[in-house]
Structure formats: structure tokens, C-alpha cells
């Protein structure tokens, strides 16, 4: 799976500009799915047909956090604002790539107090220009952070594991799923980082009976981390609650039973902040029982998000087990 993950994470596709990644995903899923379509918001939907009528929607978002140029000064330095949850302390010295191919490095004005984190108003992107006229970037151009994947053996580090690792899990689940008693919609959604927008419209259109998102979650296993019972390498996390939703207890129970039956390691997740596509699936139309399978990830929303390969592989096994058998929510 590492070759697939490398291809996904190294493709630049910030929120609203998912087209480059969608092309990569479409090439992967078209030979595996019965139907593939793209909707008005750019969501890629791959259907795996089964023998029954129950509709299950799985969603992993294609977009990543990024930057958008707001002003070019007379010396060619680019001022910017954010697309999604970028933090200033992860920016300084960071490298970015604009969708037009231009590269840049993020610098800062001189700080009166160097011990303080600069604000976005104090940051700029140096794209190698010497004037506004020769600047290769214009107002409105979009960039993503640029970092290659680092293979640490059982750990992988990259700038957009959120949520390219979820995308990889869905692709591999579709590859593994030989047959299913359900109509399973694999949705690769857009604009999650700026408000769960793609999943909102996709869920409304598909009107599923069950919704499951696949996304990353934080961990509590680094020095002096916040107290959280999720660690790298201990299995995919079954979400109980996050900052935007309560998972349906029947969905949590369904997932836990499948993990135990198939001897798949798992963790229970309570995330105090943040949410996933499951939030909007849950409240679409008349409501949908929804939950989430989370990949434990260190340093979320930084250029070096870190996951464990074993958690990723076990997430695939868990989803394949869930989708291969009839669903009876109790």
C-alpha cells in the first residue's frame, strides 16, 4: 500500500481544488467498481453493487489544508490566507507548491518578540521573485504544503495523511471487497477541511441507510500530550464522539463486534475537537445512523502527519469485514 499512499500524499490538491487528486483516485477505482461518477461539487463516487438493497455510504475526503494568495507586494513577496485549519507555528520555513507549478518558502517579518509565534499577517511566501511584475503567482492562486513521504518502516510521515490515508483505505477496501450483500458507495469527498461541503451534498444525493466516514484522529501517545486513549500501532479507532457528532451506538457496536469476531485490534476514540464527514451524513434528509473508522495520526494539520502502517492495514480489514456480511443494527 505504501506506493499508493506516496502517490496520494504527494499530489497537491487543497480544498476546492481536488481535481489533480481526483484523477489519481479515479484511475485506481475505475477497474474495481461497477459504476464511477463525479457530481457537481467534484465528489468522486464509486459504487460496488451487491445483492441487497441496503445502501452504505463510506466517505474519505480528498482535499488537504492549503494557502491562497491575497496580495503581491512590490518586491514580489506573496501574502496569503488559509484554506482549512492551518496554524502559523507549522508554517515558518515550510515549503509550498502552487497549482501552477510555482514553488515557495514561507518567511516572516522581523518579530519584536522572537519567543512568540508569528501571526498570519506577519508571514509571507518567497517565490523567488524580485518584483510584482516577475512574480509567478497572482492573487487567488492556491498552494499546498510540499513534503515527500518518509518511510520509517512501520510508520509513514507526510504532509496530507489527513485524509489521503483515508482515501487509500477506501481504495484498498474496494480492492479487497470481492462481494457484498449491500449497495456500497465509496465517496471521495471534496472541501471537508472548509466545512464538510462535499459530503453534505453527496449524502443528500445518495440518501444512504448507513454512513461511515474514514478519517484521521489525534493521539495521546507523545510526550506531555493531552489525555486521549488513542495510540499509534494499537489498531484503527472506532469513534464514539468528536467535536461535531455522537456516533450512533448501534454503529459503534456493529464495528466493535466485527473487530472482535475477526480478531482485528481496535481502539475506542473520543475526540474533543474536530469532526468528520460523518457529522453531515448523520443529519442528512431524515437522518442516517452514522459512525467513523479513524486512523490514529500524530501531528495532525502539520506538514509531517504520522501514521502506523499496521493501523492502516487493519482499518482495511475491518471495513472489508463490515461490508462483507449482512448488517443488523441492534
| CA 77 from centre of chain | 30
Query: What element of type H or E holds 84?
Result: none
Closest listed residue to residue 305, CA positions, set 144, 117, 80: 144
Q: Look up 229 and say whether it is catalytic.
A: no
Omega into 79 within 30° of 0, i.e. cis? no
As a dihedral over the C-alpha atoms of residue 213, residue 215, residue 220, residue 224, rounded to 10 degrees, the angle is -140
Distance separating alpha carbons of residues 96 and 90, to the nearest angstrom: 12
Distance separating alpha carbons of residues 196 and 278, to the nearest angstrom: 9
Distance separating alpha carbons of residues 127 and 95, to the nearest angstrom: 10
Question: CB of 102 within 8 A of CB of 114?
Answer: no
Q: Where are the beta strands (DSSP E) in 218-316?
A: 237-241, 267-270, 290-296, 305-308
- What residues contact residue 133 under an 8 Å CB cut-off, 6+ apart? none
| CA 47 from centre of chain | 20
Q: Which of 10, 18, 172, 192 is catalytic?
A: 192
| CA 132 from centre of chain | 35
* CA dist list (Å): 269 to 128, 230, 251, 273, 295: 44, 6, 13, 12, 10
Q: Which residues carry out catalysis?
A: 192
Amino acid at each position: 500500500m505504501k506506493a499508493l499512499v506516496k502517490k496520494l500524499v504527494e499530489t497537491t490538491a487543497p480544498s476546492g481544488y481536488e481535481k489533480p487528486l481526483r484523477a489519481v483516485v479515479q484511475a485506481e477505482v475505475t477497474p474495481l467498481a461497477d459504476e464511477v461518477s463525479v457530481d457537481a461539487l467534484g465528489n468522486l463516487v464509486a459504487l460496488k453493487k451487491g445483492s441487497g438493497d441496503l445502501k452504505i455510504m463510506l466517505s474519505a475526503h480528498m482535499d488537504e489544508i492549503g494557502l491562497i494568495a491575497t496580495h503581491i507586494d512590490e518586491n514580489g513577496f506573496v501574502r496569503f490566507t488559509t484554506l482549512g485549519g492551518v496554524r502559523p507555528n507549522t508554517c515558518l520555513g515550510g515549503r509550498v507548491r502552487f497549482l501552477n507549478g510555482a514553488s515557495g518558502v514561507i518567511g516572516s517579518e522581523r518579530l519584536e518578540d522572537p519567543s512568540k509565534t508569528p501571526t498570519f499577517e506577519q508571514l509571507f511566501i518567497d517565490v523567488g521573485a524580485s518584483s510584482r511584475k516577475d512574480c509567478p503567482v497572482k492573487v487567488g492562486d492556491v498552494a499546498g504544503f510540499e513534503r515527500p513521504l518518509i518511510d520509517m518502516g512501520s510508520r509513514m510521515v507526510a504532509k496530507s495523511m489527513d485524509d489521503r490515508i483515508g482515501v487509500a483505505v477506501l481504495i484498498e477496501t474496494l480492492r479487497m471487497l470481492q462481494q457484498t450483500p449491500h449497495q456500497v458507495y465509496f465517496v471521495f469527498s471534496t472541501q471537508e477541511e472548509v466545512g464538510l461541503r462535499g459530503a453534505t451534498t453527496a449524502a443528500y444525493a445518495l440518501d444512504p441507510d448507513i454512513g461511515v466516514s474514514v478519517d484521521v484522529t489525534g493521539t495521546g501517545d507523545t510526550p506531555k500530550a493531552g489525555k486521549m486513549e488513542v495510540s499509534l500501532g494499537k489498531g484503527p479507532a472506532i469513534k464514539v464522539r468528536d467535536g461535531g457528532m455522537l456516533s450512533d451506538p448501534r454503529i459503534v457496536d456493529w464495528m466493535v463486534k466485527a473487530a472482535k469476531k475477526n480478531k482485528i485490534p481496535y481502539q475506542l476514540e473520543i475526540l474533543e475537537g474536530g469532526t468528520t464527514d460523518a457529522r453531515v451524513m448523520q443529519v442528512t434528509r431524515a437522518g442516517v445512523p452514522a459512525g467513523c473508522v479513524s486512523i490514529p495520526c500524530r501531528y495532525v494539520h502539520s506538514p509531517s502527519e504520522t501514521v502506523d502502517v499496521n493501523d492502516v492495514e487493519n482499518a482495511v480489514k475491518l471495513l472489508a469485514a463490515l461490508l462483507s456480511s449482512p448488517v443488523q443494527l441492534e
